[in-house]
Structure 1
Amino acid sequence: MRIVVQRASKGRVLVDEQVTGEIGRGFVLLVGVTHEDTEKDADYLAEKIMGLRIFEDAGGKMNLSLLDVEGAILSVSQFTLYGDCRKGRRPNFMEAARPEQANRLYEYFNEKLRSLGARVETGVFGAMMDVELVNDGPVTLLLDSKKNF
């Protein structure tokens, strides 16, 4: 799994001009799933994200977690994180998991985050979405379960 973690002061997702998920302070996550990913990958990344200390404390140091600041998560499925642009000019998405596998693991990941104490809002899997966010910092991190095990 690949996840782009963006520290945000606010974010929301619209589908057909209707808000499907909205948060204030927290994380906007772009979540990609590949063929070999399992629940172990989702568990690892959910626990990593919930433990990330990337919010500033009173001294201005990144020392606080999402739970410490009572933040929320906006989780958005993003198969294009597995786009391969090495050849030609049009990305190849062969490394992205098939929709049924990706959706199952994406939903599992969101439930894992909830079980760890996060309030999780989402987009709509497979839909054309407008994702809005105000990146706080900016702070953006790329997590990949295959590179971190």
Structure 2
Amino acid sequence: MKAVIQRVKKAMVEVDGEITGKIGPGILVFLGVGDEDSIKEVDWMADKISGLRIFEDETGKMNLSLMDVEGSALVVSQFTLYGDCRKGKRPSFASAAKPEIANALYEDFIKNFRLKGINTETGRFQAMMDVSLVNDGPVTLIIESPEKKA
């Protein structure tokens, strides 16, 4: 599982002119699901992201998590995070999960965040989306779940 996290002052997703998700201060999560991912990776990723200390404390040091600051999350499915660009000029998405598996794990991630008490808005799975944001910092991180051991 892969994610790109951006600390935001606000963010919004629109599909065909309809707002599907909108948040104030918090994080925008672009979430990619790989073909070998399972609920184990969902749980790991949700715990990692919700606990990341990327918000400033009273001294200006990044020491607080999304949960500490009671921020919101906007979660957008992003299979293109699994685009392999090492060969040729056209990305290969062979390692991205099939849509039915990816959607189920994406929904599990959202449920996990909501069970933690995080106000969580979403995009729309497999839709063409317009995403707008005001990046705070800017703070942008790339996170990948640990490699599976054979």
Q: TM-score, structure 2 length as denominator? A: 0.96
Q: How does 1:105-144 map to 2 (within 5 A)?
A: 105-144=105-144
Q: How far apart, in 1, do the equivalents of 2:66 and 2:32 lie?
A: 21
**One-letter code aligned to 2:28:** V
> After superposition, what is the alpha-carbon deviation per residue over 1:47-70, rounded to whole angstroms, capped at 9, x for unaligned?
111111110011100011112212
The aligned residue for residue 44 of structure 1 is 44
Structure 1: gaps of 5 or more residues? none
The percent of aligned pairs where both chains have the same amino acid is 59
Change (3 A) 1:141 1:147: farther
Aligned-residue Cα RMSD (Å) equals 1.3
Q: Write the deviation string for residues 55-88 of structure 1: whole angstroms up to 9, x where unpaired.
A: 0011100011112212100000000000000111
| Counterpart position of 2:53 | 53
Consecutive unaligned residues in structure 2, runs of 5 or more: none
Moved over 6 A (4+): none
Aligned length: 149
TM-score, normalization by structure 1: 0.97
Distance across 2 between alignment mates of 1:107 and 1:23: 18
Match for 1:82: what amino acid?
Y
